[in-house]
Amino acid sequence: MAGRSNIVVSAAVRDALAGGAPVVALESTLIAHGLPRPRNREVAMELEQQARDRGVTPATIAVIDGVPRIGLDEPDLRRIADDVHVVKLSVRDLPVACATGWTGATTVASTALLASRVGIRLFATGGLGGVHRGAGDSFDESADLVTLASTPITVVSAGVKSILDISATLERLETLGITVIGYRTSTFPGFYLPHTTYDLDWRVGDASQVATTMTAADTLGLTSAIVVANPLPSDQALDPALHDRVLADALAWAAERGIRGKAVTPFLLETFHRETGGASLEVNINAVRNNVAVAADIALAWAATDPAAADRTYRP
């Protein structure tokens, strides 16, 4: 058999979970496909160290030679960052990658799924996938949404990128029963921007309130995710006027060139990178840093306040 589907948990993550200590999952698609080399490897290691500095064990997730791994050692992390042949794996891709021995980076959906399988309750990412503009015709919707609808994990993100249909995404989150709470905000963040025109029903003021919400969800027997919408500080966000101009131009250029379906998102992101002189990339990195910080705080609060943690820890 070329690959094995057994999930391998690193010793550090396994020990943390067994002891009820705080753990935060990190995706690997950002490393393999979201940032230029060698900056991607530097950021990956920085994010892991950021979690450790806050007293939290990081669990970067990927599939290595057909084996899902929760927590990467340095050689595997370097491989995900440096190897141009690393593929992008969503949930639907996992069985084939495992069966055929592929190495791949996990998306928000597949990271959330694998993390939850071993009992990790916190996950920090940049932005969620969502409903794409024009989805009424293309039916283009991220697998992140349906996966989170059936995965009991708390995801800290800076909302969704403004290139998506934010209104439709919020409607789908509601329909799918995914709890969305603003972290010290009453409006849904737009990733590059700290605020959009869309109000949130729920707002929390600190990490302990998120942990209490997680406990309540467990008590109610819910199996869907909690999305913590964490806006970037205004001084780290993209200039609103620049953002609006680039977005309008990018959408117009895509329409003029007949770019449709899956090709739209990479085109828009590349346009943002080019037209902002690389500023959008720095915003992306800052968003993940901020989300790791908040996720770590929530993980610490969860470990401290969860009275039944010992009953839900991972056992190898």
Catalytic positions are: 27, 161
Identify the burial level of 307 via C-beta atoms within 10 angstroms of its C-beta, where 0-12 means exposed, 13-18 middle and 19 or more buried. Answer: exposed
Considering only CA atoms, which of 122, 179, 125, 148 is closest in space to residue 296?
122
Shortest CA distance to 151 belongs to which of 105, 106, 118, 200?
Answer: 118
Residue 157 token pair? 């993100």
Paired with 131 in beta bridges are: 141
Residue for token pair 């609808």: 149
**CA 116 – CA 226 distance, rounded (Å):** 13
CA distance 61 to 9: 9
